[in-house]
Amino acid sequence: MTGTTLPTPLYPLYQQKFGFSELTVTVVYAVYAFAVIGVLLLVGNVSDTIGRRPTLLCGLGFAAASACCFLAADQLGWLYAGRLLSGLSAGLFTGAATAYVLELAPPGGTSRATFVATAANMGGLGCGPLLAGLLAEYAPSPLRTPYLVHLGLVAASVLALLWLPETVADRRPLSAVRPQRPALPPQVRAVFFPAAVAAFVGFALFGVFTSVSPAFLARYLHVDNHAVSGLVVALAFFASTAGQLAVGRVGVTRSLPLGCAVLFAGLLLLAAAIHADSLALVVLAALTGGIGQGLAFRAAMTAVAQAAPAERRAAVISTLFVVAYTGISVPVVGVGLLADPLGLEGAGLVFIACMLALIVPAAGYLLRRPIRTGTP
């Protein structure tokens, strides 16, 4: 997962090298999300069929190929290819790695395994910009060293994976995999729609932070240190991990409206940061928005899983992921389209207004009709 956010603090360097616009940055970023959606819809259940290890080895292969594309990048097309392969890797890992961790847990270790899977996912996403920013700032060859280090991490992961046992007993050939259509049974809809809005807004906020915040920091706040840019983005992901962990204490019923409220506060702080050109407010917005995203998304996932009938639970969860990854792509491209006529600050404020228009009704609905959870 670290590889999927590795290019984040490097986008300003790519802009200088290839001379492309903010719109191109956002499209390059969004290609990743479209690839994830494609994998979830077409082969989201592939690890249930062919096994966890083959699926994860394939995902690591795509991750290595993505790094090689960035290493070879001498024109824009290589960046698109690298992001596409990175999305394919993440799409395979999204379900397979989480299921594998849970299945490898010792008896009574499900809670700890859930924490490990959550921390590895969001923590890995946070480590990507942090690692790339540090290496770009303090190591030679800023557009090569991060990917060489990533290839080393992939190689170590392959060795670890080959040592682990397979947990799927009834494995079938790849030809048995069938596309997994989105599903929304009637009994899920009352819970799904506010949960999906919260997931959409949270992922959209992450998308904007990950794609254009380094350019904003450099252009308007004169923050040219790549390590600082990477750290700001990383803080949002680390805060999300903290928010997801807090759901266990707060409870699902309260976490979803609370997450919406914290997301609302994060969006307002981001608007204030854009208006005031304040690094401190950007950091505070990253932390607040990250916590809100973590609270809202884990609560949304739990609530939707519990409301779905057992035989259609995987398809319903995949539908929620499709909505979430749509949030991380489409609004980001919208910001890129508006950046030229309105400027990056103006585009950011329009984005915030649109997200507030979504999150406020969802929060109001949840306060009037709190979700009721049961046992999955």
Structure confidence by residue, pLDDT tens digits, 158-197? 999 999 999 888 888 888 888 877 778 888 888 888 889 9
Residue 359 placed within a domain: yes
Whether 131 is in a domain gets the answer: yes
User: What local confidence, expressed as pLDDT, does residue 284 receive?
Assistant: 97
According to the model, what pLDDT value does residue 371 have?
63
The CA distance from 141 to 69, in Å, is: 16
- Give me the chain's average pLDDT, please: 90
Residue 38 domain flag: yes
pLDDT 10s digits, 228-252: 999 999 999 999 999 988 988 888 8
Q: Give how many domains the chain has, as a whole number.
A: 1
Give domain status of residue 143, yes or no.
yes
Contact status, residue 293 vs residue 320, Cβ threshold 8 Å: no
Distance CA 144, CA 63 (A): 15
Residue 172 lies in a domain: no
For residue 34, give its domain range: 2-167+180-368
Asked, for residue 175, whether it belongs to a domain, the answer is no
The CB-based long-range contact list for 137-144 (8 Å cut-off, 24+ gap) reads 137/225, 137/226, 137/227, 138/227, 142/10, 142/13, 142/226, 143/10, 143/13, 143/14, 143/17, 143/70, 143/73, 144/71
Whether 174 maps to a domain, the answer reads no
pLDDT in tens, 302-352: 888 888 886 677 678 778 888 988 998 899 999 999 998 999 899 999 999
DSSP 133-147: HHHHHHSS-TTTHHH
Residue 316 inside a domain? The answer is yes
Is the model's pLDDT at 370 over the cut of 50?
yes
Domain of 295, CATH number, reads 1.20.1250.20
Over range 81-103, report the average pLDDT.
Answer: 90
Out of 49-53, 220-224, 233-237, give the one with best mean pLDDT: 233-237
